[in-house]
Amino acid sequence: MSIWDEEKYNLLRDEIFKYYVDSHWIPPKNPDDQLFGLKPMLHNRESFWNEIKKNPIFSRQWEVTYEKRLLSDEERYNLWFNLNYETGMERHFDPKKIPNYDDPYWEPTPKYLVHIKYKDKVHKFYRFS
C-alpha cells in the first residue's frame, strides 16, 4: 500500500510551472505575423518553487498555495500502522514507544504533509523531506 505518489506530485508541480512559463508568451502585434515573442523569465523551475514556498504574494499571483508541516508523532504512528499492519498487531499509540520508522523491515513512513492548492483544488501529499 502506498500513501504518496511521487509521480502525481511531480506532474502537479510541472503543470503549475508550465502555467508560469506559458504566461511569458507574447502574441504578435501584427495579425499576419505568426511569430510569438517571449518575455524574459525571472525563474527556472527550482527558483520558481522556492519563491512559491516563501513568498505568499508571488504564489497568489500564480493561484498556488503551498503548505508543508511536520507530522505529529501520533499521525506518523497511524500512517506507519496502516502501512505495516500484521496479524496480531494492535493499534496503540504510546509516545514512549515510537517505532523505528527508518527500519528497512517496515514500509517507509513519511515525515511531512504537504498541501498544494492550485486553482481552488487542494492536493495532499505525504513527503519524506
φ, ψ of residue 73 to 5 degrees: the values are -60, -40
Model pLDDT for residues 40-90, shown as the tens digit of each residue: 999 999 999 999 999 999 999 999 999 999 999 999 999 998 888 775 678
- Cβ–Cβ < 8 Å for 48, 71: no
Predicted pLDDT at 5: 83
What is the spatial distance between Cα 107 and Cα 83, in angstroms, rounded to a whole number?
6
- Cβ–Cβ < 8 Å for 83, 1: yes
What is the spatial distance between Cα 68 and Cα 34, in angstroms, rounded to a whole number?
43
Predicted pLDDT at 88: 67
Residues sharing a CB contact under 8 Å with residue 65, sequence separation 6 or more, in sequence order: 56, 59, 115, 116, 117
Model pLDDT for residues 3-54, shown as the tens digit of each residue: 678 899 999 999 999 999 999 998 888 878 778 888 899 999 999 999 999 9
Predicted pLDDT at 87: 57
Predicted pLDDT at 6: 87
